[in-house]
Amino acid sequence: MNRFFDILRNLLFPPKCACCRTLIPVVEEKYGGGLCLCRECRGLWNRAKEENCPTCLCPSHTCLCTEDKGSLKNMKIPKLLTYNPNVNNTQNKMIFSLKKVNDKRIPEFIASELSVSMGRYFKDNFILPDECVYTFVPRSRRAKGEFGFDQGQRLSREVARICEGKFEALFVRLGGREQKRLDSDMRARNISRSLRLKRNAEEKIKGRKIVVIDDLVTTGATLDGAVKLLKRAKAAEVYVACVARTGENKR
Ligand SMILES: [Zn+2]
Ligand SMILES: [Zn+2]
């Protein structure tokens, strides 16, 4: 029945590519809805994942580079893309769409892709994906108010579903400023002041393996703040994964 409605919806409202916004031609086997990228952008996306990380020179989707920040120091961070805010490429457009376009296909697609990078890391390290609790760092209240959704929440919920793990919203953001407007030191201070665990979150964290999913890692200050709180609440293990890491012009 769902399939019928999907077909009907796609005929009435043909899906637009999340990257270039052109209409995606309706092809028989793609009637199932959920189609996110046109064929051309899908090719560009695949190439973007293969672009070398400027730090370790691995293809971005296999890179495990971390940030030189307190709690992140010895962690590996599976990811998908290297992001440069000054280049209007596929990476840039998709991160923009993920953050600013209220379209569930985008987090669904990116989560399915990110799960592959994470799955590889999990397998190599004997981590069972379905034993983990998946969470996110909420976006600032102001950004949530402006866009009406939280891309990190959608992303981590979807990754949890794919990995057959549990999704939990563990953090709250109390005021604070938008990280992107601040330099590295100010980001760390801002996050330690504004990021808190939710009430009753501690019992959901203690002894559990927690995975924090983030969209974009710029300086690592936000993730560092989140990981610290989880460790303080006695998580058994903390893992992180992100869609993209800023490769150039790191502030
Ligand atoms: Zn396209
Ligand atoms: Zn790397």
Q: Are the beta carbons of 198 and 172 closer than 8 angstroms?
A: yes
Q: Are the beta carbons of 168 and 235 closer than 8 angstroms?
A: no
Query: Cα separations (Å) of 112 from 87, 94, 163, 209?
Result: 25, 14, 10, 21
Query: Cα separations (Å) of 238 from 25, 36, 58, 111?
Result: 42, 31, 24, 19
Ligand nearest to the Cα of 245, by number: 2
Distance CA 132, CA 167 (A): 9
Distance CA 203, CA 199 (A): 9
Ligand nearest to the Cα of 41, by number: 1
Distance CA 118, CA 127 (A): 10
Structure tokens, 227: 């990981």
Indicate whether 32 pLDDT > 50.
Answer: no
Report field, pTM of the whole predicted structure over 0.95? no
- Give me the pLDDT at residue 66, please: 93
Indicate whether 183 pLDDT > 90.
Answer: no
Which helix (H) or strand (E) segment holds residue 49: the answer is: helix 39-50
- So where are the chain's domains? 59-246
Structure tokens, 125: 């390290």
CA of 34 to the centre of ligand 1 (A): 14
CA of 36 to the centre of ligand 1 (A): 9
pLDDT higher for 74 or 229?
A: 229
Ligand nearest to the Cα of 40, by number: 1
- Give me the pLDDT at residue 189, please: 82
- Class of 59-246 in CATH: alpha beta
Half-sphere exposure of 87 (CA within 13 A, CB side): 11
- Read off the pLDDT band of 34 (50, 70, 90): low
Alpha helices, DSSP H only, in 164-207? 184-194, 201-205
Distance CA 36, CA 52 (A): 24
